[in-house]
Structure 1
């Protein structure tokens, strides 16, 4: 029991890294995704083309590859690496990679939600003398939130599980910790990681279900 308690405690501590990566990714990727979405809808063709190309590259390549390139790329190209040499440097690189990746996915969800709102509502707001910002925040935004909530929820739940990819640059998250114990002949820590992810995903599923019901009045 003593050894099992110690292992469980270490798994819990390792999962905090997954949670930290999850929280930081959402904190920065959600607003950045909106900025990218506006760039992809820009009337300035060169900007729109550049943003769409960048999004295509990020969405078309594996997140694991992006993590490795962002962490090792500067050094391999002969530049001074921007990441500290300790564990915080590996964590910073993982956060940057996750933020860029998920911001691009979120941007497409934002763009689809914004473009799905009937243009007649924007025109009606203009007739009433509302500014573009007033129309966006008072007419468009809440409808966009309702429309994007299911796909956004799917991406956020995927993010929970993708945090395990951080171990590709030796971030000691929960699966990496469990693999170390499995190498010592203990299999149960590896399967126990499922409990952490299932509970986390279960809580998010309940929250998104509650939020969708709260926004039912937009149907």
Structure 2
């Protein structure tokens, strides 16, 4: 325990960095993923094409390259220095949004087509059909894959450690400079990630039980 209690300042900063990366990236991913997921099932061909290009392009690009672009290329294009934490949050959000969009698209496809057609027959537009008919039903089937995406996002936050963003992925190097065993530090990092993932798993069970009762 001395590895933690003797260096609470570093652990607190690293844990806070991981939480900021996760929450910031998660919010961007959920909002953008909802928009892209809706575009992927839109009756408008251009919307489907744009959504498909975005998903296939970003999802098939390694996260490290996406992070590299935001960390080094984007500041050059903008001609000014940008906060590295903010850039990492945006990179994680844009990357994870592709998986959110595909999880939503899969959930939307579980809703019988006849229900959407019936909604359109009574005069609802596409946005209203999605909001009042499709998404409320798709949400139940989307919870497990969506939580898997968020768990992956939590673990992907460590990629930002390679781009000078303080998080749990950087704590080993910092504590090694203070003479602590790298192996012990990594074991504690693993424990913290297990705790965070178990917390997300608990949230998943709560949401599943809530919507199972609502059904």
Per-residue CA deviation, residues 42-69 of structure 1 (Å, 9 max, x unaligned), is: 3343442233122111111111111011
**Count, aligned residues:** 213
Find the partner of 2:181 among 168, 178, 186: 186
Question: Can you give the 5+ residue segments of structure 1 that lack an aligned partner in the other structure?
Answer: none
1:90-148 Cα offsets, whole Å, 9 max, x none, are 10110111111011111111111112210122233345555554443332222111011
Q: Which moved more, 1:122-131 or 1:189-198?
A: 122-131
Is residue 2:13 matched to residue 1:19? no
Q: Which runs of structure 1 show a deviation greater than 6 angstroms over 4 or more consecutive aligned residues?
A: none
- Does the 8 Å CA contact 2:70/2:87 hold for their aligned counterparts? yes
Residue in structure 1 matching 2:112, options 108, 118, 122: 118
Asked if the contact 1:40/1:52 (under 8 Å) is kept, the reply is: yes
Instruction: Determine if contact 1:68/1:168 at 8 Å carries over to the other structure.
Output: no
1:82-93 matched pairs, under 5 angstroms: 82-84=80-82, 89-93=83-87
- In 2, Cα distance between equivalents of 1:169 and 1:46: 36
- TM-score, length basis structure 1: 0.86
Matches within 5 A, 1:30-179: 30-74=30-74, 79-84=77-82, 89-127=83-121, 130=124, 132-179=126-173
Q: Which is worse superposed, 201-210 or 133-142?
A: 133-142
Q: Residues 124 and 2 (structure 1 numbering): CA distance in 2 closer, same or farther, change over 3 Å?
A: closer
Q: TM-score, normalised by structure 2?
A: 0.87
Please report the RMSD computed on the Cα atoms of aligned residues, expressed in angstroms.
2.4
Q: Check 1:34–1:130 CA distance in 2 against 1; reply closer, same or farther (3 A cut).
A: same
